[in-house]
Amino acid sequence: MKILITGASGYLGRGIVDELIGMGHDVTATDIRDCGINKEAKIVVEDLFSIKDPYKYFGEPDVLLHLAWRNGFVHNADTHLADLSEHYRFIKNMIDRGLKSCCVMGTMHEIGFYEGSINENTPCNPMNLYGIAKNALRRSIELYAASKGIAFLWLRGYYIVSGDTRGGSIFSKIAQANAEGKREFPFTMGKNQYDYLDYKEFCEQVAVAVSQNDICGIINICSGRPEELGSRVERFIKENNYDIKLQYGAFPDRPYDSKAVWGDNRKIQAIFNANKRE
C-alpha cells in the first residue's frame, strides 16, 4: 500500500513509520520538521494546512494515517480548538480528491469520566479541550466519509509505556527525571487503573489496523485490561533500573481522570487474527 503518514516526526509517528516500512508498505512521511524519521520513507517537510491539493501533492496515496496534532499532552491548550477546522478541511480535501481509506488517531480522552470497559458504542462526554476537539473531528469525518462511501478507521489510543525522554507521558517524564539525576518524583496516590501498551506494541497495532479496511470504525488500540497506575510505574522503574522513588500523594488526581477504565480489544484482536490467516 501507498500510505501517507502526517505528524511522522512526532512521538508516535516515528515508531509507526518504522512498523509500516517493516511490513513492506510504500510510506510517505510528512511533518513540519524532519526529526528522527526512518530514511527508508519518502520524507516531505511541509505545512499540511497550506497545501491546495494534498492528495496529488503527496502522490495519491491509498491510505491516509493522520497523526498530526499539536500539544497532545497539554489537554487544555487553546490550539486544540483553534486547529480543529484545519484538520477537518485537510482530511475532507484528501477525500474529495480521491482518497479511499482514511485513518485518524483518536484518544480515550474523548470518553471523559467513565468507569469500565470502553467499546465503540460507549457514549462520549469529553472533559478537556483535547478530548472535545478530537471527538468533534471524529464525528465530522465519520459523517463525511460515510457520505462518500470510503473506509474510515478511528484509532482510539490509550496509555503508552515508553522510556523515550522526548515524550510527554508520565513514563517519559520519569525517564527525563532519572536522566537528570533526580532521586524522587512527585506523584499522585497512583490508585487509578488504566489500559497500558508498550510503545512498540502500540505502534504495531496501529500499523496492522491501517493495513486493512475490512474492519473499520472505532478501533481501540489497547491491551484490553486495566492495571493500577502506581503498580505499572513501579514496574517501569524496575524494568529500566532507575534509581528514583515515587513521592506518593504529591499531586491530586485530575478531575477528569477515571478510577478504572480500559479498552475493549476485540476488534484489534480480530484484525490480528485475520492478518495471521493471510
Check whether residue 105 and residue 220 sit in a common domain.
yes
Decide if 256 is inside a domain.
no
Check whether residue 153 and residue 272 sit in a common domain.
yes
For 249: left if phi > 0, alpha if psi spans -120 to 50, otherwise beta; the answer is left
Count how many domains the chain has: 2
Check whether residue 10 and residue 144 sit in a common domain.
yes
User: What is the full per-residue pLDDT of the chain (278 aa) written as tens digits?
Assistant: 999 999 999 999 999 999 999 999 999 999 999 888 999 999 999 999 999 999 999 999 999 999 999 999 899 999 999 999 999 999 999 999 999 999 999 999 999 999 999 999 999 999 999 999 999 999 999 999 999 999 999 999 999 999 888 778 899 999 999 999 999 999 999 999 999 999 999 999 999 999 999 999 999 999 999 999 999 999 999 999 999 999 999 999 888 888 999 999 999 999 999 987 76
Check whether residue 49 and residue 179 sit in a common domain.
no
What is the H or E stretch that residue 107 is in? strand 101-107
Cα separation, 119 vs 132, in Å, equals 18
Decide if 43 is inside a domain.
yes
pLDDT of residue 278: 65
**Which three cell numbers, joined as nine digits, stand for 133?**
476537539
**Which three cell numbers, joined as nine digits, stand for 152?**
474510515
Question: Residue type for 86, please?
Answer: E
What is the H or E stretch that residue 64 is in? strand 63-66
Per the annotation, the verdict on 194 as an active-site residue is: no
Decide if 22 is inside a domain.
yes
Q: How far is CA 197 from CA 46, 95, 116, 129, 185, in A?
A: 31, 31, 17, 24, 22
Q: Is 122 exposed, middle or buried (0-12, 13-18, 19+ CB in 10 A)?
A: buried
Check whether residue 101 and residue 230 sit in a common domain.
no
Decide if 40 is inside a domain.
yes
pLDDT of residue 275: 82
Check whether residue 118 and residue 169 sit in a common domain.
no
What is the H or E stretch that residue 234 is in? helix 229-239
Check whether residue 135 and residue 211 sit in a common domain.
yes
Whole domain around residue 128: which residue ranges? 2-160+197-224+264-277
Decide if 255 is inside a domain.
no
pLDDT of residue 150: 96
Check whether residue 182 and residue 140 sit in a common domain.
no
Check whether residue 122 and residue 181 sit in a common domain.
no
Q: Which of 55, 114, 130, 199 is catalytic?
A: 130
Parallel, antiparallel, or unpaired for β 159-161 and 227-228?
Answer: unpaired
Parallel, antiparallel, or unpaired for β 193-194 and 227-228?
Answer: antiparallel
For residues 155 and 217, is the Cβ–Cβ distance under 8 A?
no
Decide if 254 is inside a domain.
no
Question: Residue type for 245, please?
Answer: K
pLDDT of residue 50: 94
Contacts of 220 (CB under 8 A, 6+ apart): 118, 119, 120, 156, 158, 263, 264, 265, 267, 268
Contacts of 85 (CB under 8 A, 6+ apart): none
DSSP assigned state of 121: T
Residue 146's domain is classified under what CATH number?
3.40.50.720
Check whether residue 150 and residue 177 sit in a common domain.
no
Check whether residue 20 and residue 127 sit in a common domain.
yes
